[in-house]
Structure 1
Amino acid sequence: MKNTIAERILDFLKGFPPFDSLTHEQLLIISKQVKVSYFEKDSVVFGQQEALHDCFYVVKDGAIGIYRDHTLVDQCDEGDIFGLRAIIRKDQYLLNAIATEESIVYGIPAKLIEEVLNTNIKANRFIIASFATNTRNPYSDEDKGTLFANETVLQPNASSFTEVQSASFSKNPITCIPNTTIQDASLIMSSSKVGSIIIAEDNKPLGIITDKDLRNKIATGKHQITEHVEAIMSTPVITFPDTITVAEAQIAMLKHEISHLCITKDGTIHSELVGILSEHDIIVIHGNNPSVLIKEVKRASSAEQLKQIREKAQGLLQNYIEQHIPITFISNIISAINDAITKRCITLSIEELKQEPPTSFAWLAIGSQGRKEQLLLTDQDNALVYENVTDDTNTKSYFLKLSEAVNHKLSIVGFELCPAKMMASNPKWCLSVSEWKSQFKTWITHPDTDKIMLCTIFFDYDHVYGNHDLVDEMSDSIFDAIDSYEIFLNFLGKNALTNPPPLSFFRNFLVEDSGDHKDQFDIKARAMMPLVDAARLLILSHEIKDINNTIARYNKLSELEPQNSDLYNSCIQAFRILLRFRTQHGIKNNTSGRYIDIDSLSKSDRLKLKGCFKPIKDIQELVRVRFMLSQMM
């Protein structure tokens, strides 16, 4: 007789990895042994320090929150697996699993996972990869480029996995010598409030004892507490250098079925012990994983909660900078988090107004935010466009109220209100699509200093929320206006040469000669903006829209003008160095990083900065010649 329930379970599981890689026969065997459980909201599936269940779990309906103490680490939705890590470790649960809404959960017998891992290579690879990268599906398009340090994408048949974040470990490991008694070692662990102790000689690790060893070897009576630690320690220890990534740590722990790794000077057991990395440390790191932060953003119910998440993102930024992660990757991650925060602020504000928008609209990030180059918490720059309507007065009134609420929430998060009021709450920058088109045409066909300045800000916009068609219509209008008044590009080119190369005739840095930042170097205005302005001008001259990022613009220009690819690639490298340099300086001094005291820099840093200035001079010369600006200067 056909097992209808098992068939329904099979139909569900086959739609999610790693079950989608199993044969029908394998899936049917599993489905027949699945235990179906119902959990009310706030009920516990398993708790921290609880003994292992005989199964791991898959969410059928609802949602299960994974908590470290009272901190939400992750949320499992339909098709997500949880409780599997403890099964593989063969140890008690380190986290709480609690239903955040009414949920139906499938319990899959633990014994089946070993059969799957041993007989199905694809499923085996998926599980290891998902643990190593902390993504639900490490092969999905959604996760591509967001969680990996290298610029290449992890593929199903890759042989190694690299997670972007280096593993933070304890740099003060608790140790004892080999002839220490188990009782004394336990007392040391207890007083130090740690779950492990390393047995070392001449500061080189010989073995390790964990809470698990004490439970399994002492509490069971197999050994006496008067024996020496050598009797129960696990040896040899697994060692890594301090450059270990989260992925390497995850894989090593899974492979060796352990929960602690020793960190030594050269990564071998023959060198000096410098730290210890536990599975608990990995869990803490995952709390600041980009995908986890974005999930937290989507669940946040207030600007204050969003502020806490953005502060975590700032810590993430600092870690990435210290780990020398590619700056392009960092900017993509931070921009994704900033966009998610902005979207949530908009959603919360609409809910507060208790009125749906009267027509479709789009929220735009402009300036450095629009270029996805805002890494530090600086002031906000944004705008709003809404669909043309007959009753514009009431419509505009609604969107100004909405914008004011959003700008206020973003200020609570940490993005200060723009002193120049370049924000959507300003009636000048909250317009219908026809008003934006008319304004762009005026700026382009009747350019002056102020209008050109506005173009350099508002032409770097990025769609964040709402109707993308409105943004496309705005972009098309820009090129239509330029086609009707091509000399505008010459005016824009003249503006791109406003800041001369950052070195004086005697190759000294050009610094501010007055004001609050006297004798400091303005890395934004004198080094970064010339590259930004040139990229914008050149990409507009090719009528390319939807590429607003400076590095992406130079990459596209290199493709369009292969004869100038060497110059454009030099501009890319220079901009990467400058962006990283400004970010490092800002983090170090808790500032925007814009103004730099040259005297405080090392000789190598000065040389590194000066090396970025030649591409600035060369790109400005290309602009001067191409747009015949010598006649206009």
Structure 2
Amino acid sequence: MQIEILEIRDHLSRFVPFADLPEDSLNLIAGQIEVAYFKAGSDILQYGAPIHELHYVRSGAVEIYRRSGELHNRLSEGDIFGQVGLLRSNKVRFPARAIEDSLIYFIPAAVFAQLCQQHDAFAEFVEAEGQSRLKSAVESQGQASELIKLKVQALISREPVCVSSDTSVQLAAQVMTAESVSSLVITAPAPDNQNMVGILTDRDLRTRVLAAGLASGSPVSQVMSPDPITIQSHDSVFAAMLCMLRHNIHHLPVVQQRRPIGLISLSDIIRYESQSSLYLVNAIFNQNSVEGLQSLLPDLRASFVRLVNEQATAQMIGSAMSGIGRAFCQRLLQLAEQELGAPPVPYCFMVNGSMARDEQLVVTDQDNALVLDDRFDPALHDEYFAQLAQFVSDGLAACGYSYCKGGIMASNRQWRQPLKQWRQYFSQWIEQPNPRTLLNSSIFFDLEGIYGQTELVDELKQLLAQKASSSPAFLAAMARNALNRTPPLGIFRNFVMETDGRQKHIINLKGRGTAPLTDLIRVHALACGSQAQNSLLRLDAISKTQLLQPEALDKLRYALEFLSKVRIQHQARAVSEGSEANNYIEPAQVSASERHNLKEAFQVLNHAQKFMRFRYPAQPGQKP
């Protein structure tokens, strides 16, 4: 084979959609390629002109335009264009112009048609625009594990055992014994006894009846858990697991059109998932020391790797890992209270950042704070809460959740304040934004109360949603702050590499990808007054407004899921190999198709940031 043809074939094999073609197909293409040279500024394709070749950029740079003359895309080495015209009556649909001296390979239409006919992946690639290709990549990554495919109704072995709310606790216990069940569904008294009003478990009988010395004739309405969390029968077992994780419950009523049809327990799921996240959470609450919790760190990593290997979605993995993180926090708080005694005033332990968004992974640090009742008196009470916060922070560090380098922890006196002070913080940050307070806002405005009086944090959520949405100056400042981290793309869609001191030619998937994406989604969510914390739920809230077009929202979803999944898979490989997990990838070490999809995802971020600059213009007195 001629040297020139070998060189052409080898170059094609480095880029999608040619990278996955067999060698004989690459030889076919290379043998029939024609080469053309275009000077900078010259037209390559004009709208409506006949087209009979697929165009491949061998070197240089090309701009693609819409029919209106608006810039559609910038292409560089390895990119293709002209495929839309070949697929639609052999007429140019998107004009092209060389913006640098460029060498272009021409692949004949007959060869193009043969490749489409013989290779489905090639056909799918050229028939799809960037968003569709990214969507396809996301969907192909999310092949469901058995737990995701399995429906909750498959776990139901019998109808729920029910008693009415006016039944005595003694009779309820007798029913549980006779039916060999550990929980009962509590219904309203006749004639409304089809409506579920509560749930009663063995634990309720122990803690609320026996331990409290309650009379056996008392009605179960006094000791049941009212308005229980439920799950639909058609939901997945994985969804049930996440529900139990998030709310730390062991029994979950299953409903069908609001009617209870069964009751599943922690043990039902563990039978299917002996190493599940729920199993780990159960183990966390059975530990009685920090050392015991620390011993579960290998199980935490194993659970993460298993979720990745089962190809759960990034959202599912983030929710599961956040649930595990909350369980560590909650158990440490319980142990702290056992050691220090009951708190002198009510409080809420607030988590921030990725745990609050249900997007935590295996590489993470602490972001937390204490919101205290307004009766808090520093002179009388702060010593207790300082010790509690330090106990929890040290315990989390021992369990793999490193200390926050910026000091965003409840052990820092600044972040251990009564509700009235937190209200002042939030109001001041919104009303008088500056670089320091904007940094605080980007952390604390992802917030969730996970222990204690959670309504204290709910008040802050309400305040935030109300004030932020009505403050254009704050939103503009937040938008400018969110633009500080840009995607790693050069002007021609080439990766811009960086170094972390140990590695060269890397991309920080978090710092240059998922983090700026969550930043801009947060700004839009605040603008529409949403109290959602998870990024995908925030996009759902935004979709109910006219803030972003449906197509733009879909692109953000696909880009976030893809970047998150690449980051997750990278970390899982490191954990499996026993090396230190991080957020850095080397593009040269990933496949050609993955590099292409990374570029598409970063391009989505790039366009979204440009729109955000336009949507939230700098206010008078602000720097543009």
TM-score using structure 1 length: 0.56
Partner of 2:564: 579
2:349 alignment partner, SS class? strand
Tell me which residue corresponds to 1:432.
418
Q: Residues 132-531 of structure 1 correspond to what in structure 2 (within 5 A)? A: 139=233, 145-147=239-241, 286-353=273-340, 355-389=341-375, 391-479=377-465, 481-482=467-468, 485-512=471-498, 515-531=501-517
TM-aligned CA deviation for residue 400 of structure 1: 1.2
Alignment check: 8 A CA contact 2:466 2:529 kept: no
C-alpha distance in 2, partners of 1:148/1:470?
Answer: 24
User: For the aligned residues, what is the CA RMSD?
Assistant: 4.2
Report the alpha carbon displacement of residue 301 of structure 1 after superposing the two structures with TM: 1.1
The 1:156–1:469 alpha-carbon spacing in structure 2 relative to 1, beyond 3 Å, is closer
Partner of 2:247: none
The Cα of 1:456 is off from its aligned counterpart by 0.4
Matches of 1:342 and 1:429, distance apart in 2: 16
Residues 198-228 of structure 1 show CA distances to partners (whole Å, capped at 9, x for unaligned) of xxxxxxxxxxxxxxxxxxxxxxxxxxxxxxx
Q: How many Å separate the matches in 2 of 1:403 and 1:22?
A: 43
- Corresponding residue of 1:555: 540
- 2:607 is the counterpart of 1:618: yes
> Partner letter of residue 426 of structure 1?
N
SS at match of 2:472: coil
Q: SS where residue 355 of structure 2 aligns?
A: coil
- C-alpha deviations, 1:250-306, integer Å up to 9, x for none? 9xxxxxxxxxxxxxxxxxxxxxxxxxxxxxxx96x7331333322222222122322
2:617 equivalent to 1:597:
no
8 A Cα contact 2:349 2:452, kept in partner:
yes
The separation in 2 between residues aligned to 1:563 and 1:60, in whole angstroms, is: 46
Q: Secondary structure at the match of 2:492?
A: coil
Alignment of 1:14-33 (within 5 A): 18=158, 20=160
Q: Distance in 2 between matches of 1:379 and 1:518?
A: 24
Residue of structure 1 equivalent to 2:41: none
Deviations 1:312-334 (A, max 9, x none): 23212211211212222222222
SS at match of 2:450: strand
Task: Please give the TM-score of this superposition, normalised by the length of structure 2.
Answer: 0.57
CA shift for structure 1 position 509: 1.3
Change (3 A) 1:306 1:625: same
Give the superposition deviation at 1:421: 1.8
Describe the SS at the equivalent of 1:487: helix
Larger RCO (CA within 8 A; separation ≥ 6) = 2
Per-residue CA deviations over 1:513-570 (Å, capped at 9, x if unaligned) read 574454211111111122111111111111222x111111112112223861211121
Give 3-state SS (helix, strand or coil) of 1:506's partner. Answer: coil
Q: 2: distance between equivalents of 1:441 and 1:156?
A: 44
How many residue pairs match? The answer is 403
Distance 1:441 1:314 in 2: 39
TM-fit CA distance, 1:341 = 1.8
Displacement of 1:473 in angstroms is 2.3
Secondary structure in structure 1 of the residue aligned to 2:240: coil
Q: Which amino acid aligns with 1:78?
A: D
* Secondary structure at the counterpart of residue 612 of structure 1: helix
Structure 2 residue ranges without an equivalent (≥5): 1-155, 164-170, 185-200, 205-209, 212-229, 244-252, 258-263
In structure 1, give the amino acid aligned to 2:338.
E
Q: What per-residue deviation string (whole Å, max 9, x for no partner) do you get for residues 148-188 of structure 1? A: 99xxx98769xxxxx9xxxxxxxxxxxxxxxxxxxxxxxxx
Q: What letter is aligned with 1:571?
A: L
The offset of 1:410, in angstroms, is: 1.1
- SS of residue paired to 1:454: helix
Give the distance between the partners of 1:466 and 1:366, measured in 2 at CA. Answer: 16
CA distance in 2, matches of 1:462, 1:404: 20
User: How far did 1:138 drift?
Assistant: 8.9
Check the 8 A contact 1:551/1:572 in 2, yes or no: yes
CA shift digits 1:114-141 (9 cap, x unpaired):
xxxxxxxxxxxxxxxxxxxxxx999599
> Counterparts of 1:549 and 1:507 in 2: how far apart (Å)?
29
Secondary structure at the aligned position of 2:489 is classed as coil
Residue-by-residue CA offset, 1:5-43 (whole Å, 9 max, x unaligned): xxxxxxxxxxx98364799xxxxxxx9xx9999xxxxxx
Residue 430 and residue 143 in structure 1: after superposition, are their counterparts in 2 closer, same or farther (change >3 A)? farther
1:537 counterpart = 2:523:
yes
When residues 137 and 506 of structure 1 are mapped into structure 2, their CA distance, relative to the original with a 3 A threshold, is closer
Letter in 2 for 1:624: R
In structure 1, how many angstroms separate the alpha carbons of the residues matched to 2:457 and 2:404? 22
Shift of 1:494: 0.6
